[in-house]
Structure formats: C-alpha cells, structure tokens
Structure 1
Amino acid sequence: MKYKARKLVVIVYAVCVSFFAMAEESYERKPIIDSKQTSKHSTKINGKKIKYTATTGTQPVWDEEGTPTASLFYTYYQRTDIDNNTKRPLLISFNGGPGSASVWMHVAYTGPKVLNVDDEGYPLQPYGVKSNPYSILDVADIVFVNPVNTGYSRVLPDKEGKMPSKEQQKKMFFGVNADVKYLADWISTFVTRNNRWRSPKYLIGESYGTTRVSGLALELQRRQWMYVNGVILVSPTDIGIKREGPVKAANRLPYFAATAWYHKALPEDLQQLTLNDLLAQVEPFTVNEYLPALAKGGFIGDEEKQDIAKKVAKYSGLSVDEVLNNNLDIENSYFWKELLRSRKFTVGRLDSRYLGIDEKVSGSRPDYNAELTSWLHSFTPAINYYLREELNYVTDLKYNMFGNVHPWDRTKNKTGQNLRLAMAQNPYLNVMLQSGYFDGATNYFDAKYTMWQLDPSGLMKDRLSFKGYESGHMMYLRRQDLQEANQDIRDFIQQSLPTANQAAKY
C-alpha cells in the first residue's frame, strides 16, 4: 500500500508539474507565426441584410531562404451570401503613422462595425462598437493589414533564436521602400491563399498609409505581376511630391479659412457663406495672389504686402498685425494656439473641431493634440474588446495602437512617381483622394495640390478625383461623413470596374 501511495503521489506531482509548465508556456507573450480564427456574422448595410465571415489571424513574412522574419496580424471580412467571388472586388486596407495599427479605418470607416461615438465623433461610454450601416462590405471584401510592430504583428527571431538588431530591422521593415517591398510579398501570399487572383483589387491607405499604397501600386505590378483597379488615398501625405517654401505656406490658408469658419471666427460677410462657397473664394486667392506674394519674400513691396496681409487676415480669422509679424507665413502650430486664444481654447491638429485647454493662454503652440486624446478614449478599448470578445481572437500580446518603428528611413521616396507610372502602365487603374477640410496635419489643399502634380501631362486626369468632407483627418468619425465617404468609395469601386470585354488599352 505504501508503494502504491508513493507511486500515486509521484503521478500527481508529475501531472501538476506538466500542467503548470503548460500554463506557463501558454502565457508567454510570443506571436503565433501562422494562424486563423473564423466566425460567422450578419449585418444590415443600406437597409439590406448581409451575411459574412470574419477571419482574424497571422500570416508570416519570409526572407529569400524561406525563413519567417515577421508575423503580420490581419482581419479579413468576406461576404458569404453570394455564389461567386471571382468578380467581387477585394479592398486591401492600411493605416499610416508610420507605426500605426489598422484599427482606425477598421472599426470606424469601411468595416462592418464602427465605434460607439456620438454623431460628431466624440467618445461615449460604455466603450465598444456598433453596426456600421454604411460599410462597403456589400460591394467588396476587405482585409485590414497591420504592418510589423503594429496591432499584434511582430518581428520574429532568426534561425538561431536571436532577434535582428535595430539596424537590421530597419533595413528589413522600417523605411519607405522596405515597407513596400515586404508588404507586396505578404499581399501576394494572402491573395494566393484566399484564391483571390481573379478578383478586382483595390488599395486604400490613410495618412502615411497613402505613401504605402502609392508605392505598392507599382511594386505589386513589378514584382508580383499583380495589377490593381484602384487606389484610394485618405488624408494623403505628400507621397514624395515636394510641397516646400512658398507652396507649403500658401497651401495652409484654405484650411485656416475652413477652421475659422467652423468656429465662427470670420467677418460676418464670410461667416454667412456655406463652407464650399467660402473655399471657392479662398482657393483662387491662394494660388493667384498669396503664393506669388510669398514667393517675393523680403522684396515684396510695402503696399502689396499690406494688401495681402489684410486678405489673409480676413480669410484666416487672425489679425493683420499677426499676419505681418509672421511675414505673411503663419505656421500651423501658431494658428492652432492663436485662433481661439481670446476664448482660452486651442484647436486640434488632426481635426480642428476639437478644443483643448492649455496650462497658459500665452505661448506659440498648444500643449497637446486635443483630437488625439479624444480618439484614444474610444479606439483603444473598442479594438481590444472587439477582437477578443466578438471575433474570438485570444492572445496575451499587447495590441499596439502605435508600434516602435523608428527611426523610419524616408530617403528615396518616389511613391508618387511610382503611382503615376503604375497608372500609365495600367489603363484600369483609377485614383481617388479623400480629405477633411478641418485636417491640419495633411490639409485638404495639399491633397489637391498633390493630385494636380501627380500627372503633370494631364493625360490621365480623368482617372483622378477628389472628395472633401466637413470634418478632419478621420472624416468618417462624423456620422454624415461616414455615410458620404463610404458611398464615395462604393461609387468609385463600381465606376472603376471595367465593363464586359473592356480591354486594358489606350
């Protein structure tokens, strides 16, 4: 009996050790290199019931020897109540930063769920998500991709189990061209695994994501032999098209005017105009008078300088003295601090509808970005809840809203030129730009300027379009713009699909 009892104790001990070893291993914060979890759902879009699956998972990036170097987290929505997906578009979605997860457009713009926020986009509690009645899932399947170190995506150790050095990681992932190269490889694998080679394909990127998808358009053609039908640039960066000196300074004015109009800081005759009517005055002045005046620098005549200062002051909501004291060139940060100084508020950088309160009314720039703190209120709890509790993706990894990708190599940024070349080589390829009028980080007039300069020949301008909205960087947070911007994407996709037997030729 003593022997049997002793043997039983040993067995129990071994089981306990094994159990705790397994438990310890399961709680290690290691990325799963290759996995997926699929769940079934339904929703209503524009009043029509839609059935779909949501697949969350990870898919590796490989080096030339076939060794996994990173694992990228993605969420893939696929409509299931259709017979054949060969003609159904696939939208491949990226956010920006660089270093930002795909969370923003995922749970606030095109996906089947959006944040629980009010109609203007301000946070509400309890935090979470609700159905998106305007999602474009009715016309296209969507995959939201998280680049390395964002969301649950991570760099992997090498064959010897050692992490690549910071410099090695930079060469592999963290730069304009490295980013485009490995993501093109990843997209090719995803398309192959999911049998989407015959589907029309679209790229959408927000902010720095516009640099990313502009580069991807040509990279996919050159190295993956994959041709896309459309590129959507949401709140675009310069995509390598320089906007410097007088152009950079002048292009701010229409944004200043829009912001001042929103906060009722303009003279009465301008304030009573609609925003579009106001901008129809400001934009020609910016190009035809303000830009040439700034180009003259310190050699502008006193009378002309005074006249331009009065007009800039009238359109911006600032005083003539403030414009003159800044040599006609008003920095964004000064404007955000100055416009509502008398009301003791600052205005937001990414969305100037948002107000901030600084420690001191004096100063030349705000203490913080009022809009970003508000957005993180809503997005961080929502994405963590949604992925885990509704889509059943369970992990102890931290979801990186913003990941460590710096220093980012911005050299040799020719993504705008590459997008133009991709368009020239692919007659099917169309481009749409979307901007919020109250975005001070990537202002809407800069976006228009980029569109004008994208194809200097003008031979492809019928394939370029611009849409503006009365909101900021993430225009979709405002419910009216959520509806309009999604409809603009829906129309863009449907109108850019070639008709039956329409050949790709000039």
Structure 2
Amino acid sequence: MRALFLAMCLALVAAPGFADEKADKPEAAKEKVDIPNPERFASDHTLKLNGEAIKYKTVASETYLRDDKGEPKASIFSVSYVRDGEDRTRPVTFIFNGGPGSASLWLHMGAFGPKQVVTPSNASGVGAPPYTIRDNQNSLLDVTDMVFIDPVGTGYSRPLGDNDGKEFYGVNEDADSIAEFIRIWITENGRWNSPKFLAGESYGTTRAAALTEKLQGGWNGIGLNGVILISAILDFQTGEFAPGNDTAHLAYFPSEAAIAWYHGKADKAKWNGNFDAFLRDARTYATDTLAPALIRGNTLSPAQEAAIAKDMSAYLGVSAEWIQQAHLRVDPTRFRKELLRREGYTVGRFDGRYKGVDPEGTSDSPENDPSGYGMDVAYVAALNDYLTRELKVDFNRPYKVLTGEPGSKWNWSLNDSGWPEYVNVTPWLGKGMRENPELKVMLATGWYDLATPFFGAEMALQKNGIVPERVQYDYYDAGHMMYLAEQDGKKLSDDVRAFIKAGQ
C-alpha cells in the first residue's frame, strides 16, 4: 500500500508538466470541409406575352457569400430572367417571399415568373396531381428583368463549411446577406446603373424595408427606385397577440369584419350592402371606439362593455355575448373557429374565404389552415417539376419550401440595447424615402388576410417618417396570396407593372 501511495504522488507531481507539454504543442488543424464550386444552369427561352414574343435568358445558379478571408460561408440559390438585348438601363426587380424561412416559389410560380401553376379562383383546394402549369400572362418580363432569391436555409440555399446558419438567421443578418447577394449580382451582370426594385411578400416585406437601409445607407450605397410590399408586415406590434398589447386587436378588426361580410355573417343591411362603406366604418370604429375601450380595460362598466360588444357583433358576425366574454379582444385564431362553427366549418388564416372541416367542433382553434393546405402541394410540385425538367437544375438535395429551422433560430433584435422590443422596420423605409426623393412604395394587400392584415400595414405606413404622397395603395378581393385567384392575379400584375413603369 505504501508503494502504491508513493506511485500516486509521483503521478500527481508529474501531471502538470505533462499538461504544459501538451499545451505547448499546436492544436491539430481542423480538417477543411470540401466545398464544391457553385453550380450554374443557363438556358434560352421565349415567352409570348400579350401578343409579343419575348426572348430571354434564364440562369438558375448558386452565388457564394464569402468571409473576410475569401472562404465561402453560404450559398444563395436564385433564378434570374434577363430579356435579350443587353439593355443595361432596363429595370431589374429582386423578388423574395417571407417566413422567415420560406423560399421564393410562391411569387415565382404564382405571380410574376414566366411559368404559372393554376389554382382555383373560388377559394377551393387544388386536390391531387397532376397540376396545370402554363405560360404566365401575368409575368413582368415585358417591363423588368427579375431575380427570384431563396435566402440561406430555404430552397437550395444553405450555409457552407462549418457554418450552422446562425450568421444569416435574423432581421439584420438576413438583410445583410441578401444585400451582399444583390451587390454581387449587379456587379457580375453589369447592372449598377439599372433602375432597381425590391418586391417582397409577407416577411419578405420586412426584408424589403430592412434592405432599403442596408442597400441605400452609407457611402457604398445602392440606390433604389421602388419597393413593392405584398401582404405586408412592417411593425410587429400590429401582429403580436401578447398580453397587454391591444394594437394587434385594432389591426385585425377590419380584416375579421371583411371575412364576416364575405361569409354573410356581418349585418350587411346596416350598410345597405356597401362593402367599401362598411370597411371605412370598420377602420374608424377600430381607432375611435374600440381603441379607447381597450385602453379603459376593467374601468369600463358592464353596460358600456355590453354596448360595444353589440356594435362589434354587427361587424364580426359572432355573438355579442362571446365578444363580451373575450373582453372585446377577438383573437383571430379563435375567430376562425367561431365564425362558422354552427355550419361545421373553420375559415382560413392566409385567406379567410377558404373553409375547412375539423374533426370536431368544440375546440377554440382550427385544426389547420385550409388556405394553406388548399394550395401548397400544387406549388411545391410545380416548382420542382419546372426546375428539374425545364431548367435542368441537377441537385440531389431537397428544395426546402418552408422549414422551421431558420425561423426557430431567428434573431429578432434590431439593436444591442438588451431591452425587449417589437420589431418595426418601417422607420428604415421612411428614412430611405426621405433620403431618396424618388423612392416610391407600393402596398398590395387583400381584404381577407388574417396573417398580415391590411389595416396593420396601413397603420405602419401612416407614421414612422413615411412620405405619404409617394405611397401607392392597391387592394384585392382576396387574401394573403391574392394571385391565387385569376382576376386578382391579373390586377396585381397590372398594378405592379404600372408602378415599375412610373418609377424607372
């Protein structure tokens, strides 16, 4: 035992010397990840658009973003459409969807690309394949070149090397990476002096407003001609149903009313069947009656609360008793379940015209969103079919449509103050408009959208330093994706086309 004890002591005495010797040796170099060269798939096409044959080049490609040492850190996949003719003064529009974490297939295959997947215009589901894919007569190729961008973590875009994507997942981080992509694209394509437009949908409007600051700000700025906001969310206080935040209830009230009108539940006789007058009153009611009532809280008498609930019932088509039990705060998720509960239906979130059937009728929220599952499979099939068969894009990895990865890791902070805050990118948009006297903004929004309500976008654009005379408002008898319906898709295309022509 004595010999064993001495041996242990010697080992302990020797240990520090052994550790120092190990520390002095350089750490083994990390094995460098083998990153292949970026892929590029180019092809020539012709689109007959409004009687005119338009020849154009399509480039589906990866663009590598690099770190300070020139090493690739991310790949951004995009599909570019450039009309033949080498016209460097022709507008170019950079287009993306939202999420955060969504690829650009929705605007690509539904609204503006040269191919379009056909969906029913009557707010019914697309059913099973095959789906019709046709030449898109709503494409913008006659007035602008287009670049459809998939942010990192979406589509075929991805982090590279030992990057986990965190560097790109956030309001600022995402905008920085897309701004860098745009800088690379206009440099490689010789388009620095072309008129430039941004077009985003949903969170893509948040990105577009942030990009206005990232691109135009500073001495290495890239000037913009126009920003197109499709189904906008700019100030997230208008969309966050958190305890104590009544702003969201005001923002959603006119959209809930519009959906009640569509399904025949609002008191149409009170407004003589005039939808426009009804919505004007709904906006005014939200700001002039509902807002003060919500601020009052429990200082409202039961009689006062009951009177307001009765007024709201005429707009929303649900019982005054149910509204009063909610203390005048009609959550849109519960509203989607309650509005048509007796008929056995729920209504959609992205588009309140859509109806779904739940397995039972007693829950307070819908099982799913019928305006989501009613169309998404057609878009996924169409985009994958188009990329692989027509554009010959040859990747084995899946095209990520809308996964939870980027969004679950998203950095929502706009600064390093450490204080809790609602994201509001509208001041960046306002700053960009004030500093660029020719920058114009277009808002395209549907009446029946319970994801990004039209009144919430209006509230954001009516303050925050926005220049009002340079904002164009366009409304659609549809929901979040107004291009799902034939007539509204054409109207969106016509409105955007006119906006680009006026702004170049």
Structure 2-normalised TM-score?
A: 0.86
Q: Which residue of 1 aligns with 2:396?
A: 396
Matched, 1:467 2:500: no
1:504 paired residue number? none
Distance (Å, rounded) in 2 between the aligned partners of 1:32 and 1:292: 60
Matched, 1:222 2:217: yes
Q: Offset at 1:415?
A: 2.5
Q: CA deviation at 1:241?
A: 6.3
Partner residue of 1:191 out of 181, 186, 190: 186
**Which piece of structure 1 moves more, 185-194 or 398-407?**
398-407
- Show the counterpart of 2:494: 487
Q: Does 1:422 align with 2:417?
A: no
One-letter amino acid matched to 1:98: P
Q: What is the distance in 2 between the residues matched to 1:360 and 1:272? A: 36
SS at match of 1:225: coil
Alpha-carbon displacement from aligned partner over 1:95-148 (angstroms, at most 9, x marks no partner): 110110011100001111111222346416422521111211110010000011
Aligned pairs for 1:66-77 within 5 A: 66-77=70-81
Q: Deviations over 1:189-221 (max 9, x none)?
A: 011111111100001111111111111111112
Separation in 2, partners of 1:197, 1:70: 23
Counterpart of 1:212 (choices 207, 210, 220) is 207
Aligned amino acid, residue 259 of structure 2: T
CA shift at 1:67, angstroms? Answer: 0.7
> Structure 1's 269 and 242: CA in aligned 2 closer, same or farther, altered over 3 A?
closer
**Gaps spanning 5+ residues in structure 2: where?**
1-33, 415-422
Match of 2:444 in 1: 434
For 1:177 and 1:267, the matched residues in 2 are separated by 45
1:262 aligns with 2:262: yes
- What is the rounded CA distance, in whole Å, between the counterparts of 1:242 and 1:351 in structure 2? 18
* Number of the residue aligned with 1:27: none
**CA 1:115–1:275 in 2, change beyond 3 Å: closer, same or farther?**
farther
Q: What residue is the counterpart of 2:334 in the other structure? A: 334
Distance change (3 Å), C-alpha of 1:243 and 1:400: closer
Superimposed CA distance per residue, residues 403-444 of structure 1 (whole angstroms, 9 cap, x where no aligned partner): 421221101145222121111111121111111111101111
Instruction: Answer whether contact 1:241 1:453 (CA < 8 A) is retained.
Output: no
Contact preservation (8 Å) 2:89, 2:194: yes
In structure 2, the residue matched to 1:365 is 365
Q: Are 1:36 and 2:43 an aligned pair?
A: no
Distance 1:379 1:54 in 2: 20
Residue pair 2:225, 2:440 contacting (<8 A) in 1 also: yes
Report if aligned partners of 2:271, 2:277 keep a CA contact under 8 Å in 1: no
Q: Which moved more, 1:486-495 or 1:286-295?
A: 286-295
Separation in 2, partners of 1:486, 1:144: 16
Aligned counterpart, 1:235: 231
The percentage of aligned residue pairs carrying the same residue is: 34
How far apart, in 1, do the equivalents of 2:72 and 2:101 lie?
A: 21
Whether the 8 Å CA contact 2:213–2:428 is kept in 1: the answer is: yes
What one-letter code is carried by the residue in structure 1 that aligns with 2:491?
A: E
Higher mean displacement: 83-92 or 58-67: 83-92
SS in 1 for 2:205: helix
TM value normalised by structure 1 = 0.86
- Work out the number of aligned pairs and report it: 454
Q: In the TM superposition, what whole-angstrom CA distance separates every residue of 1:444-473 from its partner, at most 9, and x where no partner exists?
A: 111111111232xx6x21111221111111
**1:383 — aligned with what?**
383
Match of 1:153 among 152, 157, 175: 157
**Which residues in structure 2 correspond to 1:111-130 (within 5 Å)?**
111-120=113-122, 122-123=125-126, 125-130=129-134
The one-letter code sitting in structure 2 at the alignment partner of 1:231 is: V
The 8 Å contact of residues 426 and 461 in structure 2, kept in 1 or not, is answered as: no
SS in structure 1 of the partner of residue 480 of structure 2: coil
- Retained in 2: the 8 A contact 1:116–1:130? yes
CA distance in structure 2 between the partners assigned to 1:414 and 1:471 by the alignment: 26
For 2:497, the aligned partner's letter is: R
- Does residue 85 of structure 1 match 2:87? yes
Alignment match of 1:478 (pick from 475, 480, 485): 485
Q: Measure how far apart 1:45 and its partner are.
A: 2.5
Contact 1:120/1:477 (<8 A) preserved: no
Matches within 5 A, 1:253-292: 253-270=253-270, 273-292=273-292
- What is the aligned-residue RMSD (CA, Å)? 1.9
1:84 CA drift (Å) = 4.9
In structure 2, C-alpha distance between the alignment counterparts of 1:427 and 1:297, rounded to whole Å: 43
1:301-332 deviations in whole A, cap 9, x for unaligned?
34432221111000001111011111011101
Change (3 A) 1:388 1:137: same
Preserved CA contact (<8 Å) 1:220 1:227: yes
Counterparts of 1:31 and 1:378, CA distance in 2? 33
How far the C-alpha of 1:263 sits from its partner, in A, is 1.1
**What corresponds to 2:410 in structure 1?**
408
Deviation at 1:374, TM superposition (A): 1.6
Give the distance between the partners of 1:96 and 1:476, measured in 2 at CA. 16
Instruction: Tell me which of 52, 57, 61 is aligned to 1:53.
Output: 57
C-alpha distance in structure 2 between counterparts of 1:212 and 1:238, whole Å: 9
Secondary structure of residue in 2 paired with 1:178: helix
| 1:241 to 1:420, Cα distance in 2 relative to 1, 3 A | farther
In 2, Cα distance between equivalents of 1:372 and 1:272? 33
Q: In the aligned structure 2, how far is the partner of 1:32 from the partner of 1:56?
A: 17
CA distance in 1, matches of 2:340, 2:272: 19
Structure 1 residue matching 2:313: 3-state secondary structure: helix
Asked if the contact 2:237–2:247 (Cα under 8 Å) also holds between the matched residues in 1, the reply is: no
Residue 13 of structure 2 is matched in structure 1 by: none
Amino acid at match of 2:101: G
Query: 2:238 and 2:120 mapped to 1: Cα distance?
Result: 37
Change (3 A) 1:65 1:41: same
Cα distance in 2 between the residues matched to 1:340 and 1:33? 54
Q: Aligned-pair distance for 1:232? A: 0.9
Q: What is residue 454 of structure 1 aligned with on the other side? A: 464
Q: Evaluate the alpha carbon distance shift between residue 197 and residue 134 of structure 1 in structure 2; reply closer, same or farther with a 3 A threshold.
A: same
State the 1:32 CA deviation. 5.4
**Equivalent in the alignment of 1:178:** 173
Q: Which residue of 1 aligns with 2:312?
A: 312
Q: 2:135 aligns with which of 124, 131, 138?
A: 131
1:266 Cα shift?
A: 2.1
Change over 3 Å in CA distance of 1:43–1:271 after alignment to 2: farther
Alpha-carbon distance change, 201 to 87 in structure 1, aligned in 2, over 3 angstroms: same
Q: 1:259 offset after TM fit, Å? A: 0.5
CA contact (8 A) 1:350 1:441 kept: yes
Aligned 8 A contact 2:215 2:221 in 1: yes
Greater displacement, 285-294 / 93-102 = 285-294
Distance 1:271 1:261, change over 3 A: farther
Residue number in structure 1 paired with 2:21: none
